[in-house]
Amino acid sequence: MTQIRSVVLGCGSYLPEQVVTNAQLAARIDTSDEWIVQRTGIRERHIAAEGEFTSHLAIKAAQAALADAGMDAQSIELIVLATSTPDNTFPATAVAVQHALGINHGAAFDLQAVCSGFVFALATADNFLRTGAYKRALVIGAETFSRILDWNDRGTCVLFGDGAGAVVLEAQEQPGKAATDRGVVTTHLRSDGRHKAKLFVDGGPSSTQTVGHLRMEGREVFKHAVGMITDVIVDAFQATGLNADSIDWFVPHQANKRIIDASAHKLHIAPEKVVLTVDRHGNTSAASIPLALSVARKDGRIKRGDMVLLEAMGGGFTWGSALVRW
């Protein structure tokens, strides 16, 4: 039986111009390039300029994705924007993107699952497209995490950066075979609120009437990350009959190189199949996966027909996986 799949037609990204190196951070706080690289693999990150908002990053990433797809913005019926750093408490940053693209039909909304946001947004759009509710969608991950960092906390401020990435999806009829169909083959999402205190922002409109700052128990997050990540990837393999050998590219959330390496090792995914951008981008939360996808597309690694494995874990905790044949 044939099946409707959400096929990726285009991918794009945007990074703010300002680059902050580890050496620059070491001049401001008690840290060093060696300390940061050894523990995280991060060497630099991009920081949004004054007056440059999450919506601005998202708009440019969306335009790049549309250009890559060779599509006019008017063909987009759904925009799902994953972010934890919206321009405003409301309305959704997605409607600012919608307006900037000249779209006044369909639906646009934000989705909040922190670093897992892009996987959650991809799964959400995929479900809308597979039911026939919409034909084409923009899925965006965009963040300005620099705005919620405590720049005196060396345990967190060295980790994060700003950026945006996007993909264009189209509902297409496929033969119905997980091993060969193009598009989103399967997604698996999880959350567990018991772990909130390990990674959260200590502010919000209802609780403190402030934005707040990011707080993290780094060792606790690391301890849970590898197990949770591999859990949802095993679920994806079981649901499709695929395995590590079936994967052409592993594009994980770019949080920490040690977590990425440990996850790939546990899953028996060869190092040469892992797409790494954390050294150049830092942790860009919901933007990290589409940014990494865009890099690997532009340099020719990810090609049509490749099976791509995505995974992420974020505050909440939330975590999820997706298998996508390009």
The answer to whether residue 213 is catalytic is no
Per DSSP (E only), the strands in the chain are 3-14, 18-21, 44-47, 78-82, 107-111, 136-144, 162-174, 183-191, 199-201, 214-216, 249-252, 307-314, 318-325
Q: Which of 11, 115, 157, 256 is catalytic?
A: 115
Q: Which of 46, 188, 213, 283 is catalytic?
A: 283
Given pLDDT bands bounded at 50, 70 and 90, which one contains residue 104? very high
The pLDDT value recorded for residue 288 is: 98
Rounded CA gap, 297 and 291, in Å?
10
- For residues 150-161, give the mean pLDDT: 97
CB 83, CB 142: distance < 8 Å: yes
* Cα distances (angstroms) measured from residue 285 to each of 4, 78, 146: 29, 22, 11
Task: Quote the tokens at residue 44.
Answer: 């630099």
The pLDDT value recorded for residue 205 is: 97
Q: Over the chain, what is the mean pLDDT?
A: 97
Rounded CA gap, 92 and 61, in Å?
17
Rounded CA gap, 54 and 281, in Å?
16
Torsion of CA 311, 281, 92, 140, to 10 degrees: -50
Chain segment 268-282, per-residue pLDDT in tens? 999 999 999 999 999
Burial state string for 68-106 with b = 16 or more CB within 10 A and e = fewer than 16: bbebebeebbbbbbbbbbbbeeeebbbbbbbebbebeeb
Q: Which of 22, 253, 256, 281 is catalytic?
A: 253
Chain segment 183-239, per-residue pLDDT in tens? 999 999 999 999 999 999 999 999 999 999 999 999 999 999 999 999 999 999 999
Chain segment 127-143, per-residue pLDDT in tens? 999 999 999 999 999 99
Rounded CA gap, 159 and 237, in Å?
31
Percent of the chain with pLDDT over 90: 100
CB 201, CB 150: distance < 8 Å: no
Residue located via tokens 């994953």: 82
Rounded CA gap, 14 and 57, in Å?
6
The pLDDT value recorded for residue 270 is: 96
Q: Is 175 exposed, middle or buried (0-12, 13-18, 19+ CB in 10 A)?
A: exposed
Task: Look at the pTM and tell me if it is higher than 0.85.
Answer: yes
Rounded CA gap, 118 and 112, in Å?
9
CB 233, CB 311: distance < 8 Å: yes
The answer to whether residue 283 is catalytic is yes
Task: Check the CA dihedral 301-139-121-204 and report its sign.
Answer: positive
Given pLDDT bands bounded at 50, 70 and 90, which one contains residue 84? very high
Q: Are strands 78-82 and 214-216 parallel, antiparallel or unpaired?
A: unpaired
- For residues 106-114, give the mean pLDDT: 98
The answer to whether residue 253 is catalytic is yes
Chain segment 23-45, per-residue pLDDT in tens? 999 999 999 999 999 999 999 99
The pLDDT value recorded for residue 200 is: 98
Given pLDDT bands bounded at 50, 70 and 90, which one contains residue 246? very high
The pLDDT value recorded for residue 225 is: 94
Task: Quote the tokens at residue 113.
Answer: 């699952």
DSSP state of 42: -
